[in-house]
Amino acid sequence: MVKKINLISLILLTALFATIVLISGCTTGAKEKTVTETPTVQSTEELNPAVESSSANYMMKVSWPRDENPVPPYSDEEKESLVKEAKQEIIRLFPELDENTLDNVSWGRLYYSGYIVPAIVFSDVLDLSKIDERIEIDKDYFQNDPRSVNVVYDPERKTIGRYGPDGWGGDNDDEAIISVEEAEEHALEFYKKMVGEKYYEDHKDEFYIARHDYDDDLFLDLDICTTYEGVVYFEDHSSINYDMRLDTINYYFDTRRDPEALYNITTLSPEPDITIDEAKEILEERLKENNEGSKVDVEYCQRYQYYNYPNLQWLDVPYYMDIEDGYVTSPLKLIWELPYTTPNGRMHYGIIDAHTGEIIDIQF
């Protein structure tokens, strides 16, 4: 009986010891994994966006980048339906276009920031708006050179990606009939109509409005930039060129991506671990190293052609993103963009990771 009890005790001790070793081994493996595993992306529903993503069991699928002319993935019947849909949207936004000139249609491409998608191209569309005013500005306008525009429609996102003439300009003798402030207000009204009033009202506090610093009192260039957690995206925005001589949209370009896909890969903390001053020190030290140890005189400035643009940004440029077979394998980086000039007058850009201090790029 004693031997039997001792045998049972030995078996229990052996099982307990094996369990302890197994638990210990699993714990060690888990610790090593959190240190060495490359972060992947979780959805914003599963992850607090203010907390840095460390691991996930899947990668985020996106429709970009594409570096070749994409083939429209539609049947002939679908193409016909999409062209009809595009025409309706064009006339809704630009009711004074000549609808009879919307028949010069082809399938082409639409460039977003670093990727392209199939698009419907309407060429040489006649713009009948402000005819009297245009003739007053240019006597030869209607008789010899009527304004025609091209319109590019993205059937996947069901939005106009590009609208405007091939080129434009103003005579120095022309005069603006509205102020810059009025032009900005009218441009935003058009944008509200473009994206839909509900979307605009739901997101208007998230937009960052950036004006271009052109020495031009006839046209206003405005960017409506996307932000997330209070930080602006490097490239995700819509651009409006507004004609202050005629009080009308002159040119429109949309580089916004699918918001859900973009937000789902923006999962790092929006709070930088590296201050902007520390980022500048990192940049200047690298410039010094590249200059054989001699200090480089730099003068920090605004992003080229902008009155004001935030230095802290999400780096949503596919060139700098980790993308494999259409999957984003790590979150967008939070960066300090540091525009600066050197004594030769040239503008350069330093891009510094705002969490790690890594120099991502120095653009010359």
Task: State residue 140's pLDDT score.
Answer: 67
The torsion angles phi and psi of 149, rounded to 5 degrees, stand at -130, 160
- What gap in Å lies between CA 133 and CA 185, rounded to an integer? 21
Residue corresponding to tokens 């409506």? 224
Per-residue pLDDT at 350 exceeds 90? yes
152 in Cβ contact with 160 (< 8 Å): yes
Per-residue pLDDT at 161 exceeds 90? yes
Mean pLDDT computed over every residue of the chain: 81
Per-residue pLDDT at 198 exceeds 80? yes
Q: Which residue has the higher pLDDT, 188 or 326?
A: 188
Per-residue pLDDT at 260 exceeds 50? yes
Task: State residue 170's pLDDT score.
Answer: 55
Mean pLDDT over 252-262 rounds to 83
Task: State residue 173's pLDDT score.
Answer: 67
Q: What per-residue string of b and e applies to 131-161 under the rule 16 or more CB within 10 Å gives b?
A: eeebeebeeebeeeeebbbebbbbbbbebbb
Per-residue pLDDT at 12 exceeds 50? no
Task: State residue 99's pLDDT score.
Answer: 95
- What gap in Å lies between CA 34 and CA 28, rounded to an integer? 10
Give percent of the chain above pLDDT 90. Answer: 56
Mean pLDDT over 145-153 rounds to 90
- Tell me which of 21-30, 155-164, 221-230, 325-334 is least confident: 21-30
Cβ contacts of residue 105 below 8 Å, gap of 6+? 83, 120, 121, 122, 123
Per-residue pLDDT at 32 exceeds 80? no
Q: Could you tell me the pLDDT band of residue 230, with boundaries at 50, 70 and 90?
A: very high
Single-letter amino acid code for the residue at 140: D
Task: State residue 115's pLDDT score.
Answer: 73
Task: State residue 257's pLDDT score.
Answer: 79
Residue pLDDT, tens place only, 278-300 = 999 999 999 999 999 999 999 99
Q: Could you tell me the pLDDT band of residue 329, with boundaries at 50, 70 and 90?
A: confident
